[in-house]
Structure 1
């Protein structure tokens, strides 16, 4: 009996049920999920290769973009393969250590993503508000330090998450009503007081993503103040054009992130499948959209992509 209770309180595996209420449609739902993931892999890898091989793109904005694309690849690759095994093969079990590892990677790399958005906003602020000192301020050494700082912040602040969940007693159930392991989803299964753990998670979220977002907004307020002081309309439009892709990427990434965060903690009356779908949009859609946005709205990346296409397809495009 004692052994049975220990096993029940500290299960070695959890069960991910996918999207509750839509189990019959899992195979159909897997089709857009798989397409989105393949487009994410293709787009992000292509963008990374272009940034690496094109010397004119070895600038702070694009170096931070490369770091962002790597985090996007990690987040989507951490979640999607397991989601597809649930949808295609009904393989719903996941080892507790794999579950906790997934939680760490999702939350830490999402935090890093937020940090890289802030770094890109800082780059735009310096480029527009202090253009003469842009190269002197954002040297390669400074860029490397900022990138390392973002990575260390995400890893250190989120590393306690798996340990906060590891030894909780899960006497209610080991079934997770989700497609992947998530901190709050797991904390809700525990039959112990998790208020301090939830408070830590909430505090970290506000001190990283929340503070980053506030600083990004402040940087763009300063940018707009500077832009509207420019003498000509053409100069104003040119300056704003350099920020358009970054703003679009922030909206695409932060909107589902905030919805997922708020519904997980406060949207108790929302239908479970709606919340799960939003959570999946958060980890799947931004990694697909980011390279598309930058490819469409950034002239230098466009030119490099077209150069590759024209080179490989020279018999077709003389």
Structure 2
């Protein structure tokens, strides 16, 4: 028996959120006296997958069939279910993401497993199996007792810190049987933003709202993001107006993020936007309106014109390098 952890790949590399999931799974394995096994699906080098060992995985199952090259939630769920059965895994860990949410739901239906998403802490094993999860877009927490024979947990970003050790994992080819029904839905093509940091993976995000006053005024924000090594985001009105690409839209109906630092520039702080950012560890709001709602949610606030504040922040960052 082992704890099974699914790791997402991005251009063949293990995502940061997946390394956090491996760290979490290794801790669960230690607490339950078992081992941690990772599952990777898609194209990647064995040397890259072996890095999961530095975060606690003893073995990595690698499913790399041609038909699995594109992310297909139905097929990936079948691979996940097959790995759970092969490894006789009672606890399954996935990072919280759109792909993993779809996979975990389908795999749970196949196996009659219990699913808990948005898990924020290691399980309490003192009396059964209980986990703490984030609810109401991060405004509250629920303690959930998980009773299924197979327990599938979706781990929220930053639930644990991924710290690399010195180990390496054994990489084993995994070739489960797949049926035609797994490919009823086919991925015809994928369009991914290139040359940019992923919002879901970024440790720092600099985001702008209508206070930026137009699509031609974004350079001060981009300069700060570049200086910080940050990803860029925006509010829904900005993406609706086509000031910024829609894949940068952060909020309840866009991407939900959980960086270590979120800097909101000229964003008023509507509840729909806050729902997408309130899992951030530190929030800084910059707005010339001292009554802007964002200041109530922010850890730090700067009252002032973004076009005055942003160049000063950029200079301060560059002066420290």
For this structure pair, what is the TM-score category when the shorter chain's length is used for normalisation?
under 0.3
Give the structure-1-normalised TM-score. 0.24
Q: Which has the higher contact order (CA 8 A, sep 6+)?
A: 1
Give the structure-2-normalised TM-score. 0.23
Q: Bigger radius of gyration, 1 or 2?
A: 1
Higher strand share: 2
Higher helix share: 1
